[in-house]
Amino acid sequence: MSTTMTMAKAINAGLRATLAGDDKTLLMGEDIGPLGGVYRVTEGLAREFGTDRVVDTPLGESGIVGTAIGLALRGFRPICEIQFDGFVFPGFNQITTQLAKIHTRSDGMLSVPVVIRIPYGGGIGSIEHHSESPEALFAHTAGLRIITPSNPHDAYWMIQQAAACADPVIVFEPKRRYWLKGEVDTAAPARDPFSAQVVREGTDATVVAYGPLVPVALAAANAAAQDGHSLEVIDLRSISPIDFDTIAASVEKTGRLIVTHEAPTFGGIGGEIAARISERCFYALEAPAMRVGGFHMPYPVARVEEHYLPDIDRILEAFDRALAY
């Protein structure tokens, strides 16, 4: 069955299906109960499933994650919401030193199936600590799976797939795309959430994007087509692990690679992709891999954030540089 809904509603529907299908699943987070969260992603769930399964927590991310780890060790499957990306750092210690390592530390005897939902990225005109893109900090830590949807269909299914995973999963939700509408087929699951997807075929260059920048990459491909150029666009979908096979197959065809994300270019996911593909596809590349990202600076105030965020022009400028080689 296919229906049109926003990404926020799709995540809500995915959480509802998860709660209905497994009574060991519960939601935890600040203001997620009767209020429905600051983005209303959990709206109506507390009324439907009760406040013992949709739990309003104190304002303490360390406590949210720590409690979720304990619940997971006792057989529950907690799904935590971090209210804003920049608020996750009080829980960073629990995520990177406990959640990510318990399975290995116990020699596989213990599993901690915890899902952590993090609205991330800019473009909403918000204040400090509300527009961060910290995904690379978590991707550097082995033991965590990290995914990010770019459309409502993926959002609906990926939250359910994350909840069913035996490993800890961080779901970065692009907050400026919460109101993006799209078709959701509730009968046809999305593909493996840890695989990339070619969302537009092309021949002149491969553009890899994820989360909030996938629509921007597609718009750049449309603009390039007006000048007679063909860009292939890949939705990365999974930040850890990264599906390098899909990217490499595309670059072997196009000969050029552009990676774009909102997070700063310095130390970002794009650098790892560029390095790995340069190793694997050295003889196929006709130009160095290009990276387009945020600047190496604290996220700026709202009135100038459009100058910080990668846009169509910056992606096309990188393509022009690649063509010049």
The predicted pLDDT at position 189 comes to 75
The residue among 55, 239, 38, 79 whose CA lies nearest residue 161 is: 79
Clarify whether 130 is annotated catalytic. Answer: yes
CA distances from 8 to 42, 55, 71, 113, 174 (A): 9, 19, 26, 23, 10
Sheet holding 238-240, edge to edge: 54-56, 25-29, 77-81, 115-120, 169-174, 145-147, 238-240
The predicted pLDDT at position 234 comes to 98
3-class DSSP assignment, residue 162:
helix
> What is the model's pTM?
0.96
**Mean pLDDT, rounded, for 65-79:** 97
Model confidence over 102-137: pLDDT tens digits? 999 999 999 999 999 999 999 999 988 999 999 999
Q: Assess whether the region 2-185 and the region 197-323 belong to the same CATH fold.
A: yes
Record the tokens describing residue 70, joined without a space. 């304990």
Model confidence over 190-213: pLDDT tens digits? 689 999 999 999 999 999 999 999
* Counts of helices then strands in the chain (DSSP H, E): 12, 14
- Residue from 130, 153, 229, 261 carrying the catalytic annotation: 130
- Per-residue DSSP letters for 55-88? EEPPS-HHHHHHHHHHHHHTT-EEEEE-SSGGG-
Confidence of residue 1 (pLDDT cuts 50, 70, 90): confident
User: 2-185 maps to which CATH number?
Assistant: 3.40.50.970
CA pair distance 156, 158, nearest whole angstrom? 6
Spell out the alpha helix ranges (H) of 129-243. Answer: 135-139, 152-164, 214-226
CA distances from 92 to 30, 65, 173, 246, 282 (A): 17, 9, 18, 31, 37
CA pair distance 291, 283, nearest whole angstrom? 19
The CATH architecture of the domain made up of 197-323 is 3-Layer(aba) Sandwich (3.40)
Ranges of each domain in the chain: 2-185, 197-323
| CB 7, CB 175: distance < 8 Å | no
Model confidence over 17-62: pLDDT tens digits? 999 999 999 999 999 999 999 999 999 999 999 999 999 999 999 9
